Amino acid sequence: MDKFSIQSLIDETAQKEEKNGLFELENPYTLEINLKNQRVMMKKGAMVAYAGDVKFEREGLLSKGLGNILKKAVSGEGTSMMKAEGIGRVYAADNGKRIRLLHLENESINVNGNDVLAHEEAVASNIKLMKSVAGVMGGGLFQVNLSGTGYIAVTTHGTPLTLLVKPGQPVFTDPNATVAWSGNLTPSIKTDISLKTLIGRGSGESFQMKFEGDGWVIIQPYEESYVVRE
């Protein structure tokens, strides 16, 4: 068969029928969610296709007690989620970012709000604000704590790198490149005025996230841009 024929394209890229778990990776960039009278939470705007009897309902991430004033301060698809429920298949993706599936076993993980693609309804989500205005300027305005038992899907630009955090050996990261960190760690914001003065840029070079304790932090080889509007 000609490798450039339409049939070759179909054979190479067709969905994998044999996979029927709730969360399955069709490829590194596309998540398949197999719903059987179930409900999952997924990032608003992440649905790229679906088949079957599936309903979608928007739910704001910031609707869980942070106040209306904060809703006006943040924009971007990472600020809200939607429910998908019914019977069928849903395909989710996020701007060509790589997807990593994780199964929590009564565990907790903190994820940059923009990098949460989907999670089972049984997994509890709790929104937390960075404690410093520098966090807003650096792009890391809010984080999502996911806890419990169930599958979650997070996204990264490129292949992620996990850094170990050990007592007495803090790790500093660019907020725009920070994806996730262990549930027992709480980052603080470090401001480096001299770097800001030299570089003249209000980004990760002048604002860093400082992780202390015993855990890990995941970074990506990319500084993601965040938009803050009035």
- Kindly report the average pLDDT of the chain as a whole number: 81
Cα angle, residue 207 at apex, residues 202 and 212 outer, rounded to 5°: 170
CA 222 to chain centre: 14
Which CATH number is 17-219's, of 3.40.50.150, 1.20.1630.10, 3.40.47.10, 3.60.160.10?
3.60.160.10
In terms of average pLDDT, the best of 1-10, 33-42, 131-140 is 33-42
Q: Is 136 helix (H, G, I), strand (E, B) or coil?
A: helix
pTM reported for the whole predicted model: 0.81
- In total, the chain counts a number of residues equal to 230
Q: What is the pLDDT of residue 19?
A: 67
In terms of average pLDDT, the best of 17-26, 62-71, 191-200 is 17-26
- Domain spans, the chain: 17-219
Phi-psi region of 129 (alpha: psi -120 to 50; beta: other; left: phi over 0): beta
What does the pLDDT look like over 87-126, one tens digit per residue?
Answer: 999 999 999 999 999 999 999 999 998 899 999 999 999 8
Q: What is the pLDDT of residue 20?
A: 77
One-letter amino acid of 207: F
Give DSSP secondary structure letters for 83-105: EEEEEEEEEE--TT-EEEEEEEE
The encoded tokens of residue 130 equal 């960075």
The encoded tokens of residue 72 equal 């006006």
